[in-house]
Amino acid sequence: MKISIVGAGSWGTALGQVLSENGHEPLLWHHNPEFVEEISTTHCHPFLSEYALHPALKFTHSLEETTAFSDILISALPSQVVRQVFSNIPELKVKIIVSVSKGIEMDTGQRMSQVFEDILQIDSDAFVVLSGPSHAEEVIQKFPTTVVAAGTSLENARTIQTLFSNTYFRVYTGADVAGVEIGGAAKNIIALAAGICQGLGFGDNTMAALVTRGLEEIIRLGTTLGGKRETISGLSGMGDLVVTAFSPHSRNRQVGQRIGKGETLQSILASMEMVAEGVSTTKSLYTLAQTLEVDMPICRQIYRVLYEGLVPRDGILELMSRELVDEHPL
């Protein structure tokens, strides 16, 4: 099959690699014509420079060409630019849109499924979210990886499952779009916190507490928005949280670690070529939790560290000094 991928960063390219090896023909879009010319000539991705790209991978900077290329389109853009890019498409005729972005839009608090429904007026059955514990650097090396394809149309979710699955990339299906999206977005904030704890020199006890209590916060928000606890306890929630909080590949963890060591957020972002989704998602999720009156103390402290100048060590101590409560209130 011909597959369109909007976003030729490391993750979009790694997914294109999987599709190519499954016998499909992906066309990847990047906004920069110079990037497209270079990668088309060298067949080497600057963020994945150690690995050979499949010869079937093709790149373009024409958005119109990309969106007209196939019936299935994969959005691999940073979540904060999805609306801007897709608003420039006069008419989108694809049958299935697959989002692999892990974020919540800042201005609206919308998940990616809601953004696409808003700007393209698509039927919700046309949308599938693909998410789970999956670093591009490991997928391109064919390390065994498992993710979830969720959609209100299980038929479409299973189409995506079949499209991607092979001996090293296994896709499960589900119908809980909200649970998968919230798990994928909110875990980035806990990964920022994990990096901060590492930067401060804290140990395994701290990390275990952070991940466990962080998961509980994600479940609170996800279930409030209609997601299921079992979804967030699965691959797209707990699984993604573990890999993002502990892996050196995680950009969100890297940002948090540098903050914990004393760097400012502004200097860190200025030095980065790739996007750490958790930085913007912290702001949008904090606002969403406040609006919904969902208690998320870890996420609140990360917001204060990033945007209100709270000293990271003080933020941790404040969390430890809160009123004592039951682990699972009756």
Does 195 share its domain with 160? no
Does 201 share its domain with 132? no
Q: What residues of the chain score a pLDDT lower than 70?
A: 330
Instruction: Give, as one character, the DSSP assignment of residue 31.
Output: S
Total of domains in the chain: 2
The backbone torsions φ and ψ at residue 149, rounded to the nearest 5 degrees and listed phi first, read -110, 115
Does 278 share its domain with 197? yes
Per-residue pLDDT of 181-199, as tens digits, reads 999 999 999 999 999 999 9
Domain end: 154, 177, 200, which one?
A: 177
Does 191 share its domain with 145? no
146 in any annotated domain: yes
Residue-range definition of the domain harbouring residue 238: 178-320
* Cα–Cα distance, 79 to 99 (Å, whole number): 9
What is the predicted pLDDT for the residue at 276? 87
Q: Is 75 within 8 Å of 55 (Cβ atoms)?
A: no
Domain end: 155, 177, 199, which one?
A: 177
Q: What is the CATH number of the domain that holds 172?
A: 3.40.50.720
What is the predicted pLDDT for the residue at 273? 80
325 in any annotated domain: no
Does 64 share its domain with 212? no
Radius of gyration of the chain, Cα coordinates, nearest whole angstrom: 19
* Cα–Cα distance, 233 to 203 (Å, whole number): 24
Domain end: 133, 155, 177, which one?
A: 177
Q: Is 136 within 8 Å of 13 (Cβ atoms)?
A: yes
Examine the residue annotation and report whether 2 is marked as an active-site residue of this protein: no
The helix (run of H) or strand (run of E) holding residue 185 is: helix 177-200
Does 263 share its domain with 156? no
328 in any annotated domain: no
Does 88 share its domain with 7? yes
What is the predicted pLDDT for the residue at 306? 96
Does 38 share its domain with 171? yes
Does 30 share its domain with 136? yes
What is the predicted pLDDT for the residue at 121? 82
329 in any annotated domain: no
Which of 142, 187, 228, 283 is flagged as catalytic?
A: 187
What is the predicted pLDDT for the residue at 122? 84
